[in-house]
Amino acid sequence: MSVDSWLIVLVLLLCLIGIVASLVPTIPGGLINYIALLLIYYKYNSFSKTFLIVWAVIMVLAIVIDYFMPVWFAKKYGFTMYRLWFSLIGMVIGIFFTPVGMVLGMLIGALAGEIIGGREKVTAIKKGIARFAGTMLSIVLKLIVSIVLSVYIFVELTRVAQF
């Protein structure tokens, strides 16, 4: 295999990893896709610098939103420290059960934390669902960014690379 072929395989692998990583809270999968974009840019010089800058800004915004959206939901719905810690513990335990387990672990941890923190069950469920919604919104945003960037990369690869 030539160097170009290895580069194409690496770029496609990075795109796939970026999309999968986008499903995990707080992991910036889009950043992995952006690295693939930079590899294509430096090899084929096929994207404009404006395009690279716009996507860099989108990546920074996606990362900031991913980290701060759950915090914003927490403040908006008045979560307790118990909820925050139990949510984190549930997420870490859930990592061992796929990304879905991680998200469900976070939800169950948030509910347990609210109940242990002295909230009524109905209030705890509402707050747990709000945390879940905030996390899911940030995951969907990251996933959209990763998929769109991967499509740009794939289209550009089919245009410039010699298969």
Which pLDDT does position 103 carry in this prediction? 75
Q: Give the tens place of pLDDT for each residue, 4-27.
A: 888 899 999 999 999 998 887 767
Token duo for residue 85: 């810690």
Distance CA 126, CA 162 (A): 54
DSSP per-residue letters across 110-159: HHHHHHHTT--HHHHHHHHHHHHHHHHHHHHHHHHHHHHHHHHHHHHHHH
pTM reported for the whole predicted model: 0.77
- Hey, what are 156's tokens? 């550009």
* pLDDT tens-digit map of 94-122: 778 776 787 778 777 877 777 777 767 77
Q: pLDDT at residue 123 above 90?
A: no
User: Which band of pLDDT confidence, cut at 50, 70 and 90, is reported for residue 163?
Assistant: low
Q: What is the mean pLDDT of the chain?
A: 83
What confidence score (pLDDT) does residue 37 get? 95
What is the structure's pLDDT at 80? Answer: 63
The whole-number pLDDT of residue 48 equals 92
pLDDT category at 50 given cuts 50, 70, 90 is very high
Buried b (16+ CB within 10 A) or exposed e, 108-143: bbbbbbbbebebeeeebbebbebbbebbeebbebbb
Q: Are 131 and 83 a contacting pair, CB within 8 Å?
A: yes
For residue 7, what is the enclosing H or E element? helix 3-21
CB distance 24 to 137 below 8 Å = no
| CB neighbour list of residue 45: distance below 8 Å, 6 or more residues apart | none
The angle formed by the CA atoms of residues 97, 101 and 102, to the nearest 5 degrees, is 100
Residue 145, number of CB atoms within 10 A of its CB: 27
Residues 140-163, mean pLDDT to the nearest whole number: 89
Which token pair is 18?
Answer: 């970026």
Q: Residue 81: is its pLDDT beyond 70?
A: no
Q: What is the pLDDT of residues 82-94, one digit of tens each?
A: 677 777 778 778 7
pLDDT for residue 155 is more than 70: yes
The neighbour count for residue 1, using CB atoms within 10 Å, is 8
